[in-house]
Chains A and B, each alone.
Chain A
């Protein structure tokens, strides 16, 4: 395979692509074999039985029933194999794994718009994490478009009146071409996009950086949901697994080791990035260290959001 794929197919970048390619080349080589057979006999007959004598009359002959039967039975068996195989791969392409990372895609004349679950909206350049299934939930705001990723062997029409979806998983970082393949007007051929597959951490960093134009407290509100902070920390004063965020900023925090501190920006930053450093009295040390990868902007946003919860 390699970077440029084979003669017939581009690079096989998604997990489904090698399966499609195997089927493609199975059909391809059977077709080539039959085609060589047809053309071979055609040339052989045309040369061997070429008219040499003007008055020669070929005798009447009756074809062998064996050949007639074989010419029906063998292709039938082969196409049934191909159909079944194609059906199996199709079902796999069709059913997205339930744990897929979902991204909303909106098609417009003539660009793609992506919305991530943290509210980030970006045009035309989609970033996805590698190593996990990605599901694109697609709809159109005007006419029919079609989302095509040739390197991933997936495609689906994008409709104005309903949602359609595709899913794929890509295991290697890279940049891939996105096309619109349903005619949509003047700039149909310019409705191109890029898909950038990158490692999870890099992807999360990118995603965090995308809210540059969003006020920090709004960003924080989105992240509060996206990062599932809400599972442990309430914003209405009620007690959860962890302390509530309401009234947190500026309050005196008593710790398990008997010390205490005022919850200012630096305290919150430390508490998010290194939650095990200081445990608030009467709470379990339940917070995982997985938030240490948050970008500076995301941290700012979350802190700004917590500040608003007085």
Chain B
């Protein structure tokens, strides 16, 4: 990294120490965030390649490139890597670590050493889970329903252990963030002045701390059953396999919110910054994230409408599911309205934010569809569900993560990527994603079950479209990897505040940030999206390029006065 431009500081977090050891033993939240970025990107790469193998196998009925057992293990490994090693840590561990303390005006998280420990615990967990899948025969997707999963070997013990260990990393990260948000906000940074990204990570952290122990209990019960022969889940021993599903979803449904809430935060920041407007319904967006974090614990049974739980439970779970659905829908409306009378700058991060609003809406509407009891009976365990959760997880979380990555990339690396390449790749991702997953809705509601190695000829056209889409999506994602790596070496040096954003990571520290973030603790006097104050805050008005990076504004926003 060279200080070749006036915008780049001579000393920043990337170049203050250069040894490998200084990285591996760092307690700097920014460096830990970057290490997570490398780790989760590798998981995403591996999971993505497996997804392409799955789609290739399904390009034609019958055996295409692998046999049924290989196929079953491939889609399982894809799911485990994507869910537990990629999506859950992606936004909180990478962007949460990198951005959250700076947005709070803090020098680091509350417990920097614990933060480093979380990273290594995550690595250990990922290795355990991978070993379990590769060595110990685990198949049947990421849900591991007993008694099938327990009947094929002991792999299930290790995979739950791996998930639990990775979950422990989440607990520690979550704990760290909760304490950091409560105790380390800069003077003047009241709760209503927090960027919505902070709110969403805060809500996510609550879920991480509360939900993850359940997977630990499940693991303990599995060990008791396997080693001592106490019947808990295995009907042959007098256990109840439906109980396993309750345990699994009691963790995994809140985990869905661990995956999506951080995306809400990223999108809020992007919509505000690139529309030059306050985020519409700030308080609603902030508080509903926290409400969802708690309500998210009460809807696990909507995964089990046809599993054999009582009809009364199903009815209650369906109703509570709608309680969560509504605030989520209102958020989407708020984000769209944020552009109203704004000045919408269609840079790559904003393209991802708009893409999110489209794909996540489809995910949301189909979620409403699945929450309807009578319709779920038909759609459950079909490709409709597969398409739905890919629209939420990928169209929601991954698209938001890509938006956030493009938004904070200059902050993280000090380099700008090629904007034209960024837009082309965004278009490829959008087209490829929809072509991959939209046909899956149709084949699913027409009856195609999920986790099928083979299929009837009537579904061939949908599978072929889907496979074609996955290749386009793959090309788009590899293109992103390519131009981001190129930007590290050949990219234009990033201005201090390329987007003219108003949150502290853009206005009060250098790009890339100083090793200690701030020389002086910032004093906050305005809201995170008070873009109408831009002329007073930025010397050159709107864009923010070359913005004043150290002194605090003395202006109060009218709403705070």
Residues of A within 8 A of B (CB): 5, 7-10, 19-20, 23-24, 27-28, 31, 34-35, 38-39, 41-42, 45-46, 49-61, 63, 67-68, 71-72, 75-76, 79-80, 82-83, 85-91, 93-94, 142-144, 146, 148, 150-151, 153-157, 159-162, 164, 177, 179-190, 192
Contact = CB atoms under 8 A, between A and B. Distances in A.
A88 B205 CA distance: 38
Given A79-B368, A179-B447, A90 B337 contact: no
A56 B354 CA distance: 22
Nearest to B370: A27
Given A161-B240, A162-B308, A179-B449, A154 B336 contact: no
A190 B456 CA distance: 10
Contacts of B381: 146, 148, 155, 181-182
A63 B543 contact: no
Interface in B299-325: 306-308, 311, 314-315, 318-319, 322, 325
Nearest to A82: B372
Contact of B361 (A35, A79, A154): A35
Contact of A90 (B344, B373, B449): B373
29 contacts: A9-B445, A10-B447, A23-B375, A35-B365, A41-B336, A42-B336, A49-B344, A54-B542, A57-B541, A58-B341, A60-B530, A61-B340, A68-B281, A72-B330, A76-B326, A79-B325, A82-B368, A87-B373, A89-B374, A156-B306, A156-B308, A160-B235, A160-B241, A181-B380, A181-B381, A185-B152, A186-B72, A188-B453, A189-B453
B374 A90 contact: yes
A50 B346 contact: yes
B148 A184 contact: yes
B147 A160 contact: yes
Contacts of B377: 20, 90, 93, 153-156
A90 B280 CA distance: 38
A56 B486 CA distance: 33
Contacts of A160: 147, 235-236, 241
A153 B241 contact: no
Interface of B: 68-69, 72, 139-141, 145, 147-148, 151-152, 235-236, 239-242, 275-278, 280-281, 284, 306-308, 311, 314-315, 318-319, 322, 325-326, 329-330, 332-334, 336-337, 339-346, 354, 357-358, 361-362, 365-366, 368-369, 371-375, 377-378, 380-382, 442, 445-447, 449-456, 530-532, 534-535, 540-543, 557-559
A61 B340 CA distance: 9
B235 A161 contact: yes
Contacts of B446: 5, 8-10, 150
B348 to A, nearest CB: 14
A52 B240 CA distance: 63
The 3 closest A-B pairs by CB, nearest first: A150-B447, A89-B374, A161-B235
Contacts of A63: 280-281, 337, 340
B378 A183 contact: no
Contacts of A91: 311
Of B318, B381, B534, the most chain A CB neighbours within 10 A belong to B381
Contacts of B318: 83, 86-87
Contacts of B280: 63
B329 A75 contact: yes
Contacts of B278: 60
Contacts of B531: 57-58
Of A19, A88, A184, A188, the most chain B CB neighbours within 10 A belong to A188
B241 A159 contact: yes
Nearest to A38: B361
Contact of A8 (B330, B442, B451): B442
A45 B100 CA distance: 30
B346 A55 contact: no
Contacts of B311: 90-91, 94
Contacts, number: 257
A9 to B, nearest CB: 6
B342 A58 contact: yes
Contacts of A153: 377-378
A181 B275 contact: no
Given A57-B531, A58-B531, A49 B326 contact: no
Contacts of A180: 449
Contacts of B141: 183
A38 B242 contact: no
Given A31-B368, A161-B239, A189-B452, 7 more contacts: A24-B445, A38-B357, A38-B361, A49-B344, A144-B148, A183-B139, A183-B140
Contact of B535 (A57, A143, A146): A57
Contacts of B341: 49, 58-59, 61
Contacts of A79: 322, 325-326, 368
Contacts of A86: 318, 371-375
Contacts of A87: 315, 318, 373-374
Contacts of B333: 38, 71
Given A68-B284, A76-B326, A157-B308, A189 B339 contact: no
A36 to B, nearest CB: 10
B156 to A, nearest CB: 13
A181 B377 CA distance: 11
A88 B113 CA distance: 55
Contacts of B361: 35, 38-39
Contact of A190 (B69, B366, B380, B454): B454
Contacts of A51: 276, 343-346
B372 A23 contact: yes
Contacts of A58: 275-277, 341-343, 531-532
Given A51-B344, A160-B147, A183-B145, A75 B241 contact: no
Contacts of B147: 142-144, 160
A86 B325 CA distance: 16
Contacts of A35: 361-362, 365
A12 to B, nearest CB: 11
Nearest to B140: A183
A38 B343 contact: no
B445 A49 contact: no
A189 B442 CA distance: 19
Contacts of B557: 60
A85 B452 CA distance: 32
A151 B311 CA distance: 23
A261 to B, nearest CB: 57
A59 B534 CA distance: 11
A46 B242 contact: no
Contact of B365 (A34, A60, A148): A34
A159 B239 CA distance: 12
Contacts of B336: 38, 41-42, 45
Nearest to B321: A83
B63 to A, nearest CB: 11
A46 B346 contact: yes
B69 A186 contact: yes
Given A153-B378, A157-B306, A49 B373 contact: no
A48 B246 CA distance: 49
A55 B542 contact: yes
Given A23-B374, A58-B342, A79-B322, A188 B447 contact: no
Contacts of B375: 20, 23-24, 27, 86
Contacts of A55: 540-543
